Structure 1
Amino acid sequence: MVIAATLKDIAQSVGVSLATVSRVLNYDRTLSVSESTRKQIFEVAEELNYTKLKHRASSSAKQLKIAIVQWYSKTKELDDLYYMSIRLGLEKRCEQRHILATRSFQNDLQAVDTDVDAIIAIGKFSQPQVEAMAQLTPNLVFVDQDQLCHGYDSVVTDFQFAVKEVVDFFWQRDQHRIGLLYGTEWTTDGELEVIDPRYKAFKQEMMARDAFDSDLVFAGDYTNHSGYQEMQTAIAQLGDDLPDAFFVTNDPMAGGALKALHENGIAVPERVKLFSFNDTTIAKYVFPELSSVHVNTELMGATAVDMVENRLQTGRSTPQRITVGTELIQRESTLK
């Protein structure tokens, strides 16, 4: 059974006030709180959404060793809980299977043991980075990046279908002018610019309906601050022509966009409706709560571990790609 986290649960676990938890989860940078406390609040918020393991059995068999390579730094991971959630799901599966899992952040391969059985890489990586990991072990699994064409197992999300569902959601409610806030970023070595696949899917879907308007599209960097800044820009540029609906491609940016709308006296959902993506803990701790595309990040992490076990146990050499489906979760930010 999945344990539903509340602000009170988190506050009691960390030993801080309800107000502190609320302000941290809403990215209130004016709050004076240590980075370690902030980190603990985010981690507890995510962990309380997972099943608690009652015991850890011992095994006499040779213990597998998996290195988790997270492309985000520890600090940046807190700003986008999507990747933290994948990592926690992955580590939970390793614990269930009695697999030794070690972590490295910001693609730090120097921290990876040379005798690991496999590497599970979370995030986006350039080809030189992929080749560097392949030097450590041929058993690579990529989560949230499709590396099938390069011969590696991959676990991805169906962005195309999810975005179509969001557009359909608004379309069925006669909201045909849909704004977009999306993200773009680079791999840690600066070699590969990663364009948001949801932007491509959104543009394709809207063009098919003869409704794509580049003036309603704004690019950020997936952070809460960029969501705030880009919505401020949209409000300033569009004025009364601000669309009635916005699709925002991750929860931190949606939270920032929500703040900008509040500050400008623009009511959500009465004047502008927001639909976010990923459905991390943040979506449930802002006001109004965010409608969001739910991505089963725990399953993505667990599936990556399953693929490693399958490859090592069967000797499989043919690469596989597993696509994890999504679900639209409607909350207050899109209610009539």
Structure 2
Amino acid sequence: HRENFTLVPSLRGQPFLDGKGQCPFDPQHTHTALLVADGELYAGTMNNFQGNEPIISRSLGSRTLLKTDAFLRWLSADAAFVASFNVPGDDKVYFFFEETADEFDFFERLLVPRVARVCKSDVGGDKVLQKKWTTFLKAQLVCSQPGRFPFNVIHHAFALPRRRGGADFYAVFTSQWQAGRAGSAAVCAYSQEALEEVFEGKYKELNKESSRWTVYSGPDMSPRPGSCYMGPSSDKALTFMKDHFLMDGKVAPTHGRPLLVKTDVTYTRIVVDEIHAVSGATYRVMFLATAEGFLHKAVELPGGPHIVESIQLFKTPEPVKNLLLAPGKGILFVGYSGGVLQVPLANCSLHRSCAECVLARDPYCAW
């Protein structure tokens, strides 16, 4: 209704959902949303028209609506969300995003890739942090090569669950500083254990007098604030959480370095498939979409990833908006501004001889 700005019901009489805090006002604002098994929606998006109030929220479902506290600046005003995940059988929801870092005072506007964690069991506070997260924590992701500018702009992430529990997270990055690393992209992988080690580590806190972030050196609290299993929390613990949401440790990539660095390209999306080859070995294959509309297929090998195929998806350069694996069907769906493409994971007809097939080192193909 234009008179009172309320939502009118649908033709069937059902009320429309208010999308505020669930999707952005502007399609240019990056966002992520995750619908879990019990019908709850976890979203990372902008909460206002101006695009300067990022929010991580939980809605739908039957439980208390929860969100981050904008007044406490748990998120910087320019936070840009790229992905969110809930590992099967786990109580945690992870959000991958980037934002301007407040904890560094030697650089005016340093972008930092982050991972934030909230717990599905969170019900908010009773008096302190009412209808707000009581488990929100965030940490910095590291993706860099020694002596080079860090890859600090995150574009997308993907979670690959492991058969024995847990997951590995893959993310694609570029650098904020183009000079010296013009057009370079990197892929870094992080284990869930590496994330949790940082979230179980030391907190940072803001020194109000010096306006600098320092390591919290006070006494440990039990149960640990921010943990998924702390149950009903005291006002003291919740007050602590209001100011201790940033972790001191940084999440290092697997093997301490990027999995793959490629020059003159920007990767916009990544998905990872795990395949059992004819030899009996298990391989992980990364499908990387570029801003120019190419699809790179890279196999993880002991000596490092090997790009086995590069496919031009469109006649004219166009960025890929989304990638989606179809489990068990051998198909990759590619979303772009004009529609959806269907790409087979295996393109073995390319290889005209046994030697050519073996040299390609594509685990989807055998002669």
TM over 0.5: no
Query: Which structure has more strand as a fraction of its residues?
Result: 2
The structure richer in helix per residue is: 1
Mark the structure with the bigger radius of gyration.
Answer: 2
Q: Which fold has the larger relative contact order, with Cα–Cα distance below 8 Å and residues 6 or more apart in sequence?
A: 1
* TM value normalised by structure 2: 0.27
